[in-house]
Amino acid sequence: MDGNFTVGLPPRRDEVKFKARNTAKGKNLKILFVIANLANGGAERVLAALSSELAKDNEIHIAVLEKDCGFYEFSEKIAFHRLNFKGGGLGARIAKILALRGLFKSVEPDLIISFIDWTNVICAVANFGLGCKHIATEHHANEYLKSPKFRFIRDLCYRRVDGLSVLSKSDFEYYGFVKKREILHNPFFIKQNAQRNLRKENIILSVGRLEEVKDYSTYFRALAMIKPEILSGWSVQIAGEGSLEARLKKEALELGLDVEFLGHVKDVAPLYERAKIFVISSVSEGLSNALIEAGCLGCARVSSDTVGGRELIKNGVNGAIFEIGNASELARILSEILSDESLQKRLGEAAKADAGEFELENIMKKWRKFIDEVMRK
């Protein structure tokens, strides 16, 4: 890639031309969002919702550094800039920085909002000396980057941003050196359809990519430890796709488990509405959209002890927490919940009571307030 960028729009979207705008107080802003990929992930879904909401009264651009897989719908008012990079390494990062710097000069945004650590870093570097306001958004726990060198680079660049959104109290405290930071939870995207009138069934559900970070192997070992008479009559479903699909299907078969691999499911709402129990076994997790959705739709949630799990679940009140990688503890917790229908209902109802906190309207109010504060600095 030579660092040049292409400007285009998603398939079946008309080209957007903007008039000059007024960025004084109360007027619209020109906001440029930057993300590495538009794939099937939580950060991407947040970007789609946030950008489309802000497009109602602002001029919105989105720069995609690599691939746009077309999973999410965006407002037709949004202009897309696809840089079409391939590959990684230092050379690719330098090329991305140069391309972004050229894009920043061309678009002249009032505000840049970047998504996830390395994209945040290269945006901070590309913006050096240009003076664009920059909000970086973190969707991983701060310890997600294991390399001390990379964490140092990230933290150094975050000192230069004008604002940082995080997903948890622990990250808010860790990034105390950032000028301005805010806890901004992911919104709840799913609306329960009363017309479906689905009843809860004996289903244990998981929703997530079939990748190492989700640690389905620990989950499968735990299921295999549960007494057959307790697990009997329950269906185990996993919605998601990924590079480990073949391996995980083999693992489940070898452990004697009957697991339904549903693949990518576009409308997951009916899955949550039917499932009584939801399990997430990740070794690392920010604020999981799936964990929010499962709670808002009344599932009894069981989560590994990640930053996101601790942020969303009060152990024993609106869900249960188990030690990361501890299959025995997960098996014990699941056995208890599977055997007690009143416990399933209590955990599910307590989780559903928190749904209002994650309504898109409430999250957008917080985002607009945060943007306004950053722009006033």
- The residue written with tokens 């696809």 in the block is 82
* Rounded-to-integer distance, Cα 174 and Cα 177, Å: 8
Beta-carbon-side half-sphere exposure of residue 152 (alpha carbons within 13 Å): 3
* Rounded-to-integer distance, Cα 328 and Cα 221, Å: 8
Higher-confidence residue: 27 or 275? 275
The pLDDT, as a whole number, for residue 12 is: 33
The pLDDT, as a whole number, for residue 15 is: 33
pLDDT bin (cut points 50, 70, 90) of residue 1 is: very low
Has residue 144 got a pLDDT over 70?
yes
Has residue 284 got a pLDDT over 90?
no
Least confident of 79-93, 126-140, 161-175, 225-239: 79-93
pLDDT bin (cut points 50, 70, 90) of residue 287 is: confident
Mean pLDDT score of the chain, rounded to an integer?
Answer: 88
* Rounded-to-integer distance, Cα 64 and Cα 61, Å: 10
* Rounded-to-integer distance, Cα 301 and Cα 127, Å: 42
Has residue 25 got a pLDDT over 60?
no
Question: What pLDDT, in 10s, does the model give residues 172-214?
Answer: 999 999 989 999 998 887 765 655 668 999 999 999 999 999 9
* Rounded-to-integer distance, Cα 318 and Cα 309, Å: 11
Higher-confidence residue: 168 or 217? 217
For residue 149, CA distances in Å to 31, 36, 103 come to: 31, 21, 28
Q: Is the pTM of this model over 0.85?
A: no
Has residue 286 got a pLDDT over 90?
no
Q: What is the mean pLDDT of residues 117-126?
A: 94
The pLDDT, as a whole number, for residue 108 is: 96
Q: What is the mean pLDDT of residues 353-360?
A: 86
* Rounded-to-integer distance, Cα 44 and Cα 63, Å: 12
The pLDDT, as a whole number, for residue 192 is: 58
The pLDDT, as a whole number, for residue 191 is: 64
pLDDT bin (cut points 50, 70, 90) of residue 46 is: confident
Q: CATH number of the domain at 201-357, out of 3.40.50.2000, 3.20.20.70, 3.60.40.10, 3.20.20.80? A: 3.40.50.2000
The pLDDT, as a whole number, for residue 40 is: 66
Q: CATH number of the domain at 6-187+359-376, out of 3.40.50.300, 3.40.50.2000, 1.10.3430.10, 3.40.605.10? A: 3.40.50.2000
pLDDT bin (cut points 50, 70, 90) of residue 239 is: very high
Share of the chain above pLDDT 90, in %: 67
Has residue 14 got a pLDDT over 50?
no
* Rounded-to-integer distance, Cα 102 and Cα 7, Å: 12
The pLDDT, as a whole number, for residue 254 is: 98
Q: What is the mean pLDDT of residues 293-302?
A: 95
> What are the extents of the domains in the chain?
6-187+359-376, 201-357
Least confident of 189-203, 217-231, 323-337: 189-203
The pLDDT, as a whole number, for residue 24 is: 42
pLDDT bin (cut points 50, 70, 90) of residue 285 is: confident
| Token reading at 209 | 């990519």
